[in-house]
Copies of this chain bind each other. A is one copy, B any other.
Amino acid sequence: MKVQYQLLHKDKETGARRGTITTNYGTFDTPMFMPVGTKATVKMLTPEELKDCAAGIILANTYHCWLRPGEDIIAKAGGLHKFMNYDGPILTDSGGYQVFSLAKPKDITEDGVYFKSHIDGQKLFLTPEKSIEIQNKLDSDIAMSFDECPPASASHEYMQKSIERTLRWAARGKAVHKNENQSLFGIIQGGPYEDLRKLSAIETVKMDFDGYSVGGVANDGEPKEDMYNAIRYSTPYIPEDKTRYLMGVGEPLDIIEGVILGIDLFDCVIPTRLARHGNAFTKDGKINLKNAKYKEDFTPIEDDCDCYACKNYTKAYIRHLVTSNEALGGRLLSIHNIRFLIKLTEDIRKAIEEDRLLSFKEQFKTRYEKIGKNR
């Protein structure tokens, strides 16, 4: 089946959406944060642990699965769900984001993109058709269109050419999309330019995808307001009965802002990446467990957190694991950080239901920013 978005309630002040998405592998609530399983594994964790975090859906990277182990092996295994033993919804990206970070500008042609494998330097070529073909074989619940991901700093002229090509690529991908059990989402690009976001959104929606994402906002270093504007310029053109997915965004305040601007779905590597560096999200900002002040801190990361790490381990123990390079440390922090972002979306959902998302945002922000981001 194709995914079905159901709108349950809109926050009276902001219009933020509380809904559900129904997939082949069950229904989950939105807004939702989606943990990233780059190489068909959310780093260090099992499917059971992700479910304990109340993950509604996870993301796997087409580029990485294509290179290793290869989409044919995953297809022979019976698709991604069976290969990685995950019986919940899975979304695959198009590979575009990874490929463009490896390709040089001259390697981007109308036909597709030439680039070198990050594993062995082998020269590879990815096209819209190939991306869809790989995703069909991976058999994810949601596939993404192959798009160009120019930097937000690209000129208006370049960006216009880019989104026009991305529209042609979207049409080419849609034409070859064969998997009846898989939905296909279109991607809205256009950088910081209002007219281009509008153009990209309207033309993408005309192609009638099963859902839509706002892309090109997770580039490093751009001002937050640019990100929020890119969303603001894109979402009004997306039909209300379709999912809106903001790609690559996982900072707590950005999730709240994204929801206010109409987003349903988020993904980001940040919870697992922070974890591997000893960092934990808390409602009082991020903390680094390597800090000596946690040496004899026999309290959990957060007293009121319901995650496995907080229910069973102290900061002193996790600090010991992290400073001793013991993998269990990163594993416990990954669980906590993923649960933190998913719990945040639960709190957001409740706030929408009760029409108080703006006051929730103010409360959360005041506390989160009080001490500073890196204690």
A363 at the interface (CB under 8 A from B): no
Q: Which positions 46-74 of chain A face chain B at CB distance < 8 Å?
A: 46, 64, 68-69, 73
Surface stretch bound by B, among A159-167, A176-184, A320-328: A320-328
Inter-chain contacts of A312 with B (CB < 8 A): 85
Contact partners of A73 in chain B: CB under 8 A = 295-296, 316, 320
Contacts of A130 in B (CB 8 A): none
Contact B41 A83 (CB under 8 A): no
In the complex, per-residue mask of A69-84: 1 if CB is within 8 Å of any chain B CB, else 0: 1000100111000011
Q: Is the CB of A328 within 8 A of B83?
A: no
Is there an interface contact between B44 and A317, defined as CB atoms closer than 8 Å? no
Contacting residues of chain A (35-49) with chain B, CB-CB under 8 angstroms: 39-41, 43-46
- Contact between B43 and A320 (Cβ–Cβ < 8 Å)? no
Min C-beta distance of A249 to chain B, whole Å: 24
> Quick one: given A41-B328, A295-B69, A326-B39, are A317 and B83 in contact (CB under 8 Å)?
yes
| Cβ–Cβ contact B39 & A320, under 8 A | yes
In the complex, per-residue mask of A332-355: 1 if CB is within 8 Å of any chain B CB, else 0: 000000000000000000000000
Tell whether, in the assembled complex, residue A327 and residue B296 are in contact, meaning their CB atoms are under 8 Å apart.
Answer: no
Residues of A208-245 whose CB lies within 8 A of B: none
Is there an interface contact between B327 and A40, defined as CB atoms closer than 8 Å? no
Is there contact, CB below 8 Å, between A326 and B43? yes
Tell me if B83 and A327 are in contact (CB < 8 A).
no
Cβ contact within 8 Å between A45 and B328: yes
Tell whether, in the assembled complex, residue B327 and residue A43 are in contact, meaning their CB atoms are under 8 Å apart.
Answer: yes
Let me know if B68 and A323 touch, CB within 8 A: yes
Given A41-B321, A298-B76, A321-B41: A69 in contact with B327 (beta carbons within 8 A): no
Task: Check if A313 is an interface residue, CB within 8 A of chain B.
Answer: yes
**Contact of A331 with B by CB under 8 A:** yes
Nearest residue (CB) in B for A319 is: B69
- List residues of chain B with CB within 8 A of the CB of A321: 39, 41
Chain B residues contacting A39 (CB-CB under 8 Å) are: 320-321, 324, 326
C-alpha gap A298/B79 in the complex (Å): 12
**Residue ID in chain B nearest A323 by CB atoms:** B68
Q: Is A314 an interface residue (CB 8 A)?
A: yes
A324 to B44, CA, bound (A): 12
7 contacts between A and B (CB under 8 A): A43-B328, A44-B331, A68-B323, A73-B295, A78-B298, A83-B314, A83-B317
Q: A interface vs B, CB < 8 Å?
A: 39-41, 43-46, 64, 68-69, 73, 76-78, 83-85, 295-296, 298, 312-314, 316-317, 319-321, 323-324, 326-328, 330-331
Return the 7 tightest CB-CB contacts between A and B, nearest first: A69-B320, A44-B327, A39-B324, A85-B312, A41-B328, A41-B326, A77-B298
Other A-B pairs beyond A46-B328, A77-B298, A85-B312, 8, CB < 8 Å: A39-B321, A41-B328, A43-B328, A64-B324, A68-B323, A69-B319, A83-B317, A327-B331
